[in-house]
Amino acid sequence: MKRLLPLVALLVVQAVAFAGETITPEQAKDYVGQTVTVTGKVAEVTEHNGNIFINFGAKYPRQPFYGFVASRDANYLDGKLTFQALQGQTASITGEVKLYKGKPEIVITKEDQVKAD
C-alpha cells in the first residue's frame, strides 16, 4: 500500500499538469500554444456549415474566445453533448489554445474537453 501512494500522487500531479491552468476567456490570447482550461459564460452557440462555435464572453464577432467543433466531429459530439444547452451557462473547455484569424480558440474533438459548470 505504501508503494502505491507515491504512484497515485504522481498520476494526480500529471493529470493536473495536463489540464494546465484555468484561465478566463479574456486571458486566452496570452496562452497560445499552451494547454489550459478556459472557464467563462457562454454568450452564444452557433452552427455554420455544420461547424459549431461556442462563443464565450460576447456574441460573434466580439467574443474574446471560442470553442470550435468541426463538422466532422459535430454530429458525434453533439449526440453526447448538447452544445445549445451551454448557451447562457458557465462552462469550461480544455485544450491547446490556437489563434484563428486573430481570435483564440480551442478545437474540441473529445467530449471530455467540455464541461458545464
Q: Where are the domains of the chain?
A: 20-116
Instruction: Please tell me the predicted confidence (pLDDT) of residue 20.
Output: 86
Q: Which of 56, 86, 40 is closest to 111 using CA atoms?
A: 86
Q: What is the pLDDT along the chain (117 residues), one digit of tens a residue?
A: 555 444 444 444 444 445 589 999 999 999 999 999 999 999 999 999 999 999 999 999 999 999 999 999 998 887 767 899 999 999 999 999 999 999 999 999 999 999 998
Cell match 453533439: residue? 78
| Amino acid (1-letter code) at residue 94 | T
Q: Which fold has domain 20-116?
A: OB fold (Dihydrolipoamide Acetyltransferase, E2P) (2.40.50)
